[in-house]
Structure 1
Amino acid sequence: MHIEDLHRYCLAKDPVTEELPFGPDTLVFKTFGKIFVLVNLSDEELKFNVKCDPEHALILREHYPQTVFPGYHMNKKHWNTVYANRELSDQQLKDLIDHSFALVSPKKK
C-alpha cells in the first residue's frame, strides 16, 4: 500500500474530512469530527494510527509483532500504529481502517 492508496481509501468513506491539525507531517482523517486515521507523512516507510477494540488490538500486536504496535502518541489501549507493507496485506490494512471508522462513527439505532 502506498500513501496515495490510503488517502483515496479514507476519502472514499462518507462523510470524511482530512486535516493537518498537528502540523504538516501528520495527516488526519475524521468522520463526524472524530479521528479514525492519523498518517505520519515525514517517514519514508508508510505507517498510520487507527483506533481498535482493546482486545483485538492486543491480538493484532501479538500476531504481527513487526507490524502492529501500541499507538504512538495515542492511548495505547485503544490505538495501534500499523506499518504498511510488512506482514499485513492491503486488504487487511483496509479492514483495520474500516474497523477504526466504525468505532468512531455514530451508532445507528
Structure 2
Amino acid sequence: MDIEQIRSYCLSKKSTTENFPFDEHTLVFKVHGKMFALASLQWWERGEAAINLKCNPDYAEELRAEYSSIRPGYHMSKKHWNTVYIHEGELSIQFIKELIDHSYEMVIKGLPKKLRESL
C-alpha cells in the first residue's frame, strides 16, 4: 500500500479533510477537525512507509503484542496511538484499511452526538 492509496482511502471517509498543520512533511487526516491518521512524507520518501493511527488502548496493546510492525505511536500518546510500519510487509492491505477504519471510528465516538448523527 503506497501513500496515494492511504490518502485516497482516508479521504473516502465521510467528512474527512487533509492538511499539514505541523509542517510541510506531516500529512494529517481529520474528521470534523479531529485527527485520525498522520503520515510523515519524509519517512515515505526514505522507503519507511508508516502511518500513525488512533486505537482503543486495550486493542492497541493486543496489536503490538501480535505484530512486530505495530508499535506505540511515534511522537503521539503511546496509550491511544499506534505507528503502523507498512514498509515491513507484515500486514495485508485489507488489515491496514481495517486499522484506518478503527481509528476513524474511535474519533467518531468522541464527537458530540449532533456531529456523530450527521455522519
Could you say which residue in structure 2 is the equivalent of 1:47? 50
- TM-score normalised to structure 2 length: 0.86
2:86 to 68, 84, 89: 84
2:7 and 2:49 map into 1 onto residues whose CA distance is 12
Does residue 25 of structure 1 match 2:25? yes
1:64 partnered with 2:67: yes
* Larger of the two Rg values belongs to structure: 2
List per-residue Cα deviations over 1:35-62 (Å, max 9, x = no partner).
Answer: 0000010012210100000011001001
Whether 2:105 is the aligned partner of 1:102: answer: yes
Q: Name the structure 2 match of 1:16.
A: 16
Higher helix share: 2
Q: SS of 1:37's equivalent?
A: strand
Under a length normalisation based on structure 1, what TM-score does the superposition of the two structures give?
0.94
**CA RMSD in angstroms, aligned pairs only:** 1.2
Partner SS state of residue 4, structure 2: helix
Specify the code of the residue in structure 1 equivalent to 2:4. Answer: E
One-letter amino acid of the structure 2 residue matched with residue 36 of structure 1: F
In structure 1, the gaps of 5 or more residues are none
Deviation at 1:101, TM superposition (A): 0.2
- Of 92, 96, 99, which residue of structure 2 is paired with 1:93? 96
Q: Identical aligned pairs, as a percentage?
A: 51
Deviant stretches of 4+, over 2 Å: 106-109
Question: How many corresponding residue pairs?
Answer: 108
